Structure 1
Amino acid sequence: MQGPSRAAAAASREAFTGALAAGADRSRLAEELFAAVDVLDGNATLRRAVADPSREGSDKAQLIERLFSGKVSAEALVVLKGVAAQRWSSERDLSDTLEAYAVESVIASAEAADRADRVEDELFRFERIVAADPALRAALTDTQAPVDKRADLVSSLLRDKVAPETLVLARQAVVAPRGRRFDRVVESYLETASHRREQQTATVTSAVPLTDDDRARLAAGLASVYGGTVHVNTVVDPRVMGGVKVEIGDEVIDGTVIRKLDAARRAMGA
């Protein structure tokens, strides 16, 4: 985001956090905000009007009031008006911010049920499963297929197997990618979760599954180095042969056997 949009996002956040603090039904708030993003994405004229930097913020808030009053909860209306009233650098920044608030509402719902870690783990694992299965990936990302069909496929795969918040986010990522690849959508959702929870996320690749104790020790070790809280996502890849590779932020710590063998071969000029 450019400067004006960063300021707009910061200013609009007060409306969003206020809605959560006021006791908004977080699941309903997420649903309504996702629906509002869909409305804006589907109506270029409306989107331009709401994001028009030359219009007064109060005028844009009144436009939102006319359009959504009586159709969404009072809390959702406050958030929508708070976002619309700001001055955005681009239309996409406005709708992206609304989407992020919707995702954050889902994570807040998971936090209230003490399963936010579970949701992050499940969403990450689902993306990896999809990435590893070309046929499944094609079925879920086929924009020519009816939305309901793709949503039903996600439900059939995940219902009763994951937290309800995971199912909501997985379905949303499939039915409303908003021009992005599925993996990028999930990545953005996980980044929003990390931002809300004020933590960093590390992706750890190992030859065999890590135990819960292994993950806890690794998270603690990374937290001591990078500060704050670190959430660990794990990937099993037998090709690494042994050791682990850790990706956190822009850094990669590669301690795998295959990496060491590659280094040895290079040293010998092989």
Structure 2
Amino acid sequence: MAIEGTGVSELATRYSIALFELADENKALDQVASDLVALKQILAESADLRRLVRSPVISRADQGRAMAAVLDRAEVSDLTKRFIGLVAKNRRLFALEGMIEGYLAELARRRGEVTAQVTSAQPLSDAQLAAVTDALKASIGSKVLINTTVDPALIGGMIVKFGSRMVDTSVRTKLNKLQLAMKASGGSV
């Protein structure tokens, strides 16, 4: 796994590698991945939990208890609970999202999968998601995992990012380009 940058990303990378190796030894790669995806979703949906993991003011004991309660409710595996407990004890919860991303990226890399980030103005239907997945498989030539997000500011269309490539077909970008073209030609906007 390549270390990208310094600071938090390097820290997150070290922890995600350790968790990956531990899960691999315990033949629990898929279970831990499932746990982490669920935790990622919980973090995305809860502003309070995001504040908890990022706050330097909340004691490590309180952070540990709160995370244990969240993990119990989410019914994650014992391995994941112990790992997150260690992260809380070491006051590293601020890097948890990076650890989750690092673990999932390493699992995808090991399996020969490419992860694409698809941002759309509205939630994609199953048929639309299948069409995007098929188009990416044909373009990339390997398995594709898709993470979707919704950004109503796009107005319409979508932005697809995979690897170092990005395809932006959003209405917002088209309008911005049109506005720039009109300014360049001396027209008023």
| TM-score, scaled to structure 1 | 0.51
Q: In the aligned structure 2, how far is the partner of 1:159 from the partner of 1:179? A: 17
- The equivalent residue for 1:244 is 158
Sort the Cα spacing of 1:244 and 1:159 in 2 relative to 1 into closer, same or farther, 3 A.
Answer: farther
Q: In the aligned structure 2, how far is the partner of 1:187 from the partner of 1:145? A: 24
Q: In the aligned structure 1, how far is the partner of 2:159 from the partner of 2:35? A: 23
Q: In the aligned structure 2, how far is the partner of 1:165 from the partner of 1:232? A: 27
Shift of 1:184: 2.7
Matched, 1:261 2:179: no
Q: In the aligned structure 2, how far is the partner of 1:244 from the partner of 1:170? A: 36
Sort the Cα spacing of 1:267 and 1:224 in 2 relative to 1 into closer, same or farther, 3 A.
Answer: same
Sort the Cα spacing of 1:232 and 1:103 in 2 relative to 1 into closer, same or farther, 3 A.
Answer: same
Task: From 25, 28, 40, give the equivalent of 1:109.
Answer: 28
Superposed counterparts of 1:87-98, under 5 Å? 96=14
Q: What RMSD in Å do the two structures reach over aligned CA positions?
A: 3.8
Q: In the aligned structure 1, how far is the partner of 2:95 from the partner of 2:44? A: 13
Matched, 1:221 2:135: yes
Across the two proteins, how many residue pairs are aligned to each other?
A: 173
Query: What is the one-letter code of the residue matched to 1:140?
Result: V
Deviations 1:45-66 (A, max 9, x none): xxxxxxxxxxxxxxxxxxxxxx
Q: Is the 8 A contact 1:246 1:253 kept in 2?
A: yes
Q: In the aligned structure 2, how far is the partner of 1:137 from the partner of 1:128? A: 8
Sort the Cα spacing of 1:124 and 1:217 in 2 relative to 1 into closer, same or farther, 3 A.
Answer: farther
Percent sequence identity is 24
Shift of 1:256: 1.1
- The equivalent residue for 2:38 is 122
Q: Is the 8 A contact 1:122 1:162 kept in 2?
A: no
Sort the Cα spacing of 1:121 and 1:179 in 2 relative to 1 into closer, same or farther, 3 A.
Answer: closer
Q: Which runs of 5+ in 1 are unaligned?
A: 3-91
Shift of 1:252: 1.3
Sort the Cα spacing of 1:231 and 1:142 in 2 relative to 1 into closer, same or farther, 3 A.
Answer: same
Shift of 1:260: 1.1
Structure showing greater relative contact order (alpha-carbon pairs closer than 8 Å, 6 or more residues apart): 2
Q: In the aligned structure 1, how far is the partner of 2:170 from the partner of 2:151? A: 11
Query: What is the one-letter code of the residue matched to 1:235?
Result: T
Instruction: Tell me the secondary structure at the aligned position of residue 131 of structure 2.
Output: helix
Q: In the aligned structure 2, how far is the partner of 1:179 from the partner of 1:167? A: 14
- The equivalent residue for 1:154 is 67
Instruction: Tell me the secondary structure at the aligned position of residue 123 of structure 2.
Output: coil
Sort the Cα spacing of 1:231 and 1:261 in 2 relative to 1 into closer, same or farther, 3 A.
Answer: same
Shift of 1:163: 5.2
Shift of 1:211: 3.0
Instruction: Tell me the secondary structure at the aligned position of residue 118 of structure 2.
Output: strand
Q: Is the 8 A contact 1:141 1:174 kept in 2?
A: no
Superposed counterparts of 1:70-81, under 5 Å? none
| TM-score, scaled to structure 2 | 0.68
- The equivalent residue for 1:100 is 17
Shift of 1:213: 3.6
Sort the Cα spacing of 1:123 and 1:254 in 2 relative to 1 into closer, same or farther, 3 A.
Answer: farther
Shift of 1:167: 5.8
